[in-house]
């Protein structure tokens, strides 16, 4: 028996197009940037990481309690370590778990990042790109959708 709920987490560098994709899809993701804005009045505040992701998980659990059919999570989620808490929640609650992997070359992410309002420093982009590990079904996802 599996439940009807699905969790879909984005995986991708800044500038890879995560928020744009969700906006075009017309859905309302739980967004780590929106939570930074709500907690600290600054969507780029990187000093409250723990609180931000505790809030993401809290909101996700509230949605699952309400049996919302799909919950999207808009954050970079670059490593298995960052993704593990969602896989754990999905297992505990018998949810389907999908990753939406934005497989976009670093140079394109950098160019898009440079052309927008809120900019992530290039050095941070390089660091994040080195950290990025693509999500796989072996890691525990029921499905990995690649967006290019």
Ligand X SMILES: Nc1ncnc2c1ncn2[C@@H]1O[C@H](COP(=O)(O)OP(=O)(O)OP(=O)(O)O)[C@@H](O)[C@H]1O
Q: How far is the CA of 119 from the CAs of 10, 43, 82, 112, 123, in angstroms?
A: 19, 11, 22, 9, 11
Among 17, 77, 97, 99, binds ligand X (CB under 6 A): 17
Contact between 51 and ligand X per CB under 6 A: no
Please choose which of Mg ion, ligand X, none residue 14 contacts, taking the beta carbon within 5 to 8 angstroms, the exact cut-off set by kind: ligand X
User: Quick one: 33 or 98, whose CB is closer to ligand X?
Assistant: 33
The region of 16-24, 45-53, 81-89, 112-120 touching Mg ion under the rule CB under 5 A is: 16-24
DSSP per-residue letters across 116-136: SSS---HHHHHHHHHH-----
**Residue 42 and residue 64: Cα distance in Å, rounded?**
27
The region of 8-16, 46-54, 61-69, 77-85 touching ligand X under the rule CB under 6 A is: 8-16
Residue 74's contacts (CB-CB under 8 Å, 6 or more residues apart) are: 10, 18, 19, 22, 29, 30, 31, 32, 33, 34
Among 1, 10, 19, 137, binds Mg ion (CB under 5 A): 19
Among 9, 76, 128, 135, binds ligand X (CB under 6 A): 76
Residue 107's contacts (CB-CB under 8 Å, 6 or more residues apart) are: none
Binding mask 109-148 for ligand X (x = CB under 6 A): ---x--xx---x----------------------------
């Amino acid at each position: 028996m599996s439940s009807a709920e699905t969790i879909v987490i984005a995986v991708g560098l800044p500038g890879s197009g995560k928020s744009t994709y969700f906006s075009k899809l017309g859905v309302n993701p739980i967004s780590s940037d929106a939570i930074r804005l709500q907690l600290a009045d600054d969507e780029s505040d990187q000093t409250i990481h723990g609180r931000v992701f505790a809030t993401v998980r809290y909101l996700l659990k509230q949605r699952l309690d309400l049996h919302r059919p799909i919950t999207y999570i808009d954050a970079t989620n670059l490593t298995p370590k960052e993704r593990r808490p969602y896989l754990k929640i999905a297992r505990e609650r018998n949810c389907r778990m999908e990753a939406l992997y934005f497989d976009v070359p670093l140079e394109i992410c950098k160019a898009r990042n440079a052309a927008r309002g809120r900019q992530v420093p290039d050095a941070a982009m390089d660091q994040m790109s080195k950290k990025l590990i693509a999500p796989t079904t072996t890691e525990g996802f029921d499905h990995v959708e690649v967006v290019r």
